[in-house]
Amino acid sequence: MHEDEQQQRGPLAGFTVGVTAARRAEEFGALLERRGATVLHAPALRTVPLADDGELRAVTRQIVESAPDVVIATTAVGFRGWTEAAADWGLGDRLLAALRGAELLARGPKVKGAVRAAGLTETWSPASESLAEVGDRLLAEGVAGRRIALQLHGEPLPGFIESLRDAGAEVLPVPVYRWTDPEDIAPLDRLLDITLARGLDALTFTSAPAAASLLGRGEKRGLLPELLSALRDDVLVACVGPVTAAPLRARGIGTIQPERFRLAPLVQLLCQELPARAPALPVAGHRVEIRGHAVIVDGEPRPVAPAGMALLHTLARRPGWVVARADLLRALPGGGTDEHAVETAVARLRTALGEPRLIQTVVKRGYRLALDPAEDGGGR
């Protein structure tokens, strides 16, 4: 089977997924597309280049001039970026010397790899890859009077820094990632508009700042109430982990998250959740699965135009029941006043589905999905 055919038949075929990530977005989008999804990418923020980050340079100078007692490395890419930026500033060897003399805690195996690639050896790493476990270990050891350098990783760390400071530590945050608005805001605005129009089946987030940025942009445009309604009721919101989901949860938006906080498990979760949300119906002797912008008929994807999908979603809300032409007319994109537009759209929809009997005309009343008799409760 060719790659394009695999994509058409993948578990995400017919679904549109929004990607807000700035980092690793191409990799994430490719994983989704290989499983059949249509991907809309709009970075919700951009990363300030480390070499240009004056705040990071200032903190690095503080560390090389007064070495910390403890260093917490939280991400591999961030740790590598920090040491590389320090080398560009002529501080590389002095930074490594300061880190070598500290108790070096690495949050997870990838970070351990980056630490060792820099010629350092971690003191300890939690099996859970949890920063909370790192904090528990430090508090159990006692941190009063100790100077702790914490490599931030762009996500909020609720209570973590405060708990160490309350226990008497001096905490020096190292802002390896800092984000600002995208250089071009137009893609994010388009993604917001499509979300409001319910043109997305799922919207994904891989960092809390991206989630906060999208909500902030919606608020700035005066669209926040409509955006919250779409995300609460109609668009599946998927986050790489609970920390990423925090700004959304604070707004009452439900999210799904994989057990392992990685891109691949997030994609696998979408492959389970999105098909489970699509109605699969026995219609005129066929199995019909209605997805965001396509229909799967007996396992075969059938691309359908937006007008046809709007009609089909309306018919599927009460499968087997007759829907009046006037109601279908209101469902068409842009609405209209001529019921002939409904007849034209239905004709095109039947052609796209490849099986005219799926949609039944009920004379003088409207149209219905021809639900199989055992399922329709005796006709309506």
- The yes-or-no verdict on residue 332 having pLDDT over 80 is yes
pLDDT at 71 (0 to 100): 97
pLDDT at 49 (0 to 100): 65
Of the options 3.10.20.740, 3.40.50.2300, 3.40.50.10090, 3.30.1300.10, the CATH number for the domain spanning 50-176: 3.40.50.10090
CA 321 – CA 379 distance, rounded (Å):
7
Fold matches, 3-47+182-277 and 280-369: no
- The edge-to-edge listing of strands for the beta sheet with 323-324 is 323-324, 366-369, 359-362
Interval 232-253: pLDDT, tens: 999 999 999 887 898 999 999 9
Domain residue spans of the chain: 3-47+182-277, 50-176, 280-369
CATH 1.10.10.10 fits 280-369, yes or no: yes
Interval 62-114: pLDDT, tens: 999 999 999 999 988 889 989 999 999 999 999 999 999 999 999 989 899 99
- 3-47+182-277 maps to which CATH number? 3.40.50.10090
Mean pLDDT of the chain: 89
pLDDT at 89 (0 to 100): 94
156: confidence class by pLDDT, cuts 50, 70, 90: low
Paired strand residues for 286: 283
pLDDT at 6 (0 to 100): 42
- The edge-to-edge listing of strands for the beta sheet with 70-73 is 103-106, 70-73, 147-151, 170-174
Interval 181-224: pLDDT, tens: 888 999 999 999 999 988 899 999 998 889 999 999 999 999 99
- The yes-or-no verdict on residue 117 having pLDDT over 60 is yes
CA 329 – CA 346 distance, rounded (Å):
11
pLDDT at 1 (0 to 100): 40
CA 54 – CA 50 distance, rounded (Å):
8
pLDDT at 179 (0 to 100): 76
pLDDT at 3 (0 to 100): 44
Helix (H, G, I), strand (E, B) or coil at 40: strand
The least confident of 93-107, 118-132, 296-310 is 296-310
pLDDT at 204 (0 to 100): 97
pLDDT at 155 (0 to 100): 57
The average pLDDT across 40-45 equals 94
pTM, two decimal places = 0.69
pLDDT at 374 (0 to 100): 60
CA 212 – CA 44 distance, rounded (Å):
9
